[in-house]
Amino acid sequence: MSESEARPTNFIRQIIDADLASGKHTSVHTRFPPEPNGYLHIGHAKSICLNFGIAQDYQGQCNLRFDDTNPEKEDIEYVESIKNDVNWLGFEWSGEICYSSNYFDKLYGFAIELINKGLAYVDELSPEQMREYRGTLVEAGKPSPYRDRSVEENLELFEKMKNGEVEEGKMCLRAKIDMASPFMVMRDPVIYRVRFADHHQTGDKWCIYPMYDFTHCISDALEGITHSICTLEFQDNRRLYDWVLENITIDCQPHQYEFSRLNLEYTVMSKRKLNQLVTDNLVSGWDDPRMPTISGLRRRGFTSASIREFCKRIGVTKQDNTIEMGSLESCIRDDLNTNAPRAMAVLDPVKVVIENFGDTEVLTVANHPNDPEMGERQVPFSREVYIEREDFREEANKKYKRLVLGKEVRLRGAYVIKAERIEKDEDGNITTIFCTYDADTLGKNPADGRKVKGVIHWVSAEAGLPAEFRLYDRLFTVPNPAAADDFVSTINPESLTVKNGFVEPALKMAEAEKAFQFERTGYFCADSKDSSAESLVFNRTVGLRDTWAKIGD
């Protein structure tokens, strides 16, 4: 791999190159700072790959820091899931895991410093009044009647807030900046509020908690972060980021850089909306294979390599755009086409009886047509087999290359068979296809020169194992469900289809999340939660080709 391939350039890397060349920085230190209020999604994967990838490429450091300043919405379950996701994607954080809550004592001290400098005050406006006083995008705000309290009074009231002597919502600490600023974030933002809630790291030590914009920049500075990278919605917040660091006594002065967040068609990236899907039981959980969460994609069979490749392909820019789902699916297809062993499974079975066949044979079949190093496997072949119902027709034109009554087809890795007659039930459904086979066609064409063009997959009825197949489709019916008045109304009722069929016996011990290409059907993996040797469940990761692209044409 060339250096240009190993280090894809983007505007952030160009800034880092310039900083190192000028001596502004002698090393690179980044961080990934999620709030533990939900599971990570594919958009977070982009940020993970960016921050940890930069640290790797520049032989620097990258912290994993939990922005845990909102105890009511956070949970240790989310902390653990985030750690697992970062590791699964192939990254290691530098040193110990960091928590914003580690700095609560220091943050409190910095708040006191701002009060002493006349740059923060305790406000008693209600949330509704505060919104009214803040003004609009075209109208300046007006100062709170509590804005000019003395330093001594502010210190006394802030101490009462800390000691639990103030009800929630009755007081807050605000930075004193500029109520006429054209940037709403600079109109005396709240930096501390009262919350009587146990914290997953600090317990009940605190009943006041700092706001994100106050905490984030100070955490960066305390950790010696050189390049604080976040998404574009925090662009205006950079002014507050800089203001806080300029007005407290702290040595490090990190700089914030913004890039465009990842928007993906046919899904939502809002944690609030994803949480609603989970809490309203519209999906089976955060790791439902239809979810854009990293754990959901993993359970569905996406590999960490395919997600890293996806993040590499879409790149890092300042321009907001929406990525087609087909781009993500293309990455996993490219990966699995090369790396997934082949197997046979019949999802909608109909029985075939080969009337002139004798005892069961064991056939040797390659695990991958283009990679001999993947080896071979033993597949039982018996008098009765299952094939896909769609692979047989009583009559068909020449374009149909599968089994037709009175004609021949090859069974994958086995013999050529000919359909002789059929049986149907009282509703007219085919129950059995009776065939004969040519015993001299194993691994070779018929001796008399007959040409058999079609090849179909099969599973031995005698040795095959029953299995459930979960076929996943887009979770929503529209490309941008977040734009709908009610995004829930756009959920695709056919986002999950369940079929019951059979797999070859070699799949009895299929490893969870390990992909197989089921011949002519798609890429599948055993479900990590519901599949067992006694009750096999396979999730379809992706089809063999992009059927949605055709629909869109």
Give CA–CA dist 464/270, Å, rounded.
Answer: 43
Cα–Cα distance measured from residue 193 to residue 171, given in angstroms and rounded to the nearest whole number: 7
pLDDT tier at 7, thresholds 50, 70, 90: low
Rounded CA gap, 524 and 188, in Å?
A: 54
Residue 462 belongs to some domain of the structure: no
Could you tell me if 236 and 312 lie in one domain? no
With vertex at residue 342, the alpha carbon angle to CA 89 and CA 407, rounded to the nearest 5 degrees, is 150
pLDDT of residue 547: 65
Q: Is residue 266 part of a domain?
A: no
Average predicted confidence (pLDDT) for the chain: 95
Same domain, 502 and 448: no
Residues with Cβ < 8 Å from 305, sequence gap 6 or more? 90, 335
Mean pLDDT of 219-228: 97
What span, in angstroms and rounded, lies between the C-alpha atoms of 209 and 197? 10
Residues labelled catalytic: 35, 261, 271
The upper half-sphere exposure of residue 270, i.e. CA atoms within 13 Å in the direction of its Cβ, equals 9
For residue 476, the domain's CATH number is 2.40.240.10
Domain count, the chain: 3
The pLDDT of residue 5 is above 50: no
Cα dihedral 236, 261, 219, 34 sign? positive
CA–CA dist 199, 69 (Å, integer)? 9
Query: Model confidence at 3, in pLDDT bands (50, 70, 90)?
Result: very low
Q: How many CB atoms lie within 10 A of CB 167?
A: 9
Co-location of 14 and 117 in the same domain: yes
Q: 316-356: per-residue pLDDT in tens?
A: 999 888 999 999 999 999 999 999 999 999 999 999 999 99
| SS3 assignment, position 335 | helix
Domain end call among 208, 242, 261: 261
* Chain centroid, CA 464 distance in Å: 34
Least Cα distance to 271 among 40, 23, 509 occurs for: 40
3-state secondary structure of 293: strand
* CA 504 to chain centroid: 31
Residues near 397 by beta carbon (within 8 Å), at least 6 away in sequence: none
Q: Residue 549's pLDDT is what?
A: 54
Selection from 249, 153, 248, 133 nearest residue 191 by Cα = 248
Structure confidence at residue 546 as a pLDDT band (50, 70, 90): confident
| Model pLDDT, residue 545 | 84
Residues 327 and 443 in one domain: no
d(C-alpha 199, C-alpha 76), whole Å? 10
Same domain, 441 and 335: no
- pLDDT number for residue 4: 39
Same domain, 237 and 210: yes
Using DSSP's 3-state secondary structure scheme, residue 367 falls into coil
For residue 70, the tally of other CB atoms under 10 A from its CB is: 19
Indicate if 66 and 108 belong to the same structural domain.
yes
Instruction: Report d(CA 111, CA 79) in Å as an integer.
Output: 27
Counting residues of the chain whose pLDDT is more than 70, the rounded percentage is 97
Phi, psi of 542 (to 5 degrees): -165, 155
Structure tokens at 408: 């021949």
Does residue 177 share a domain with residue 69?
A: yes
Q: Residue 15: phi, psi to the nearest 5?
A: -65, -45
**pLDDT per residue as tens digits for the range 495-543:** 999 999 999 999 999 999 999 999 999 999 999 999 999 999 999 999 9
Domain end position, chosen among 457, 485, 501: 457
Q: What is the pLDDT of residues 257-274, one digit of tens each?
A: 999 999 999 999 999 999
Q: What is the pTM of this model?
A: 0.93
Query: How far is it, in rounded angstroms, from Cα 384 to Cα 354?
Result: 6
Query: Domain ends where: 196, 230, 261?
Result: 261
- Per-residue pLDDT at 122: 98
**Do residues 357 and 494 share a domain?**
no
Inside any domain, residue 123: yes
pLDDT at 1: 34
What's the pLDDT tens digit per position in 429-471?
999 999 999 999 999 999 888 899 899 999 999 999 999 999 9
Tell me, yes or no, whether 378 and 315 share the same domain: no
Residues 428 and 442 grouped into a single domain: yes
What residue has token string 């929503």? 476
Q: In what order do the strands lie in the sheet with 29-32?
A: 29-32, 61-66, 98-99
Report d(CA 474, CA 325) in Å as an integer. 9
Within this chain, do residues 334 and 217 fall inside the same structural domain, yes or no? no
The pLDDT score that the predictor gives to residue 320 is: 85
Antiparallel, parallel or unpaired: β 61-66 and 98-99: parallel
What is the extent of the structural domain holding 319? 271-341+467-552
Section 54-72 average pLDDT:
97
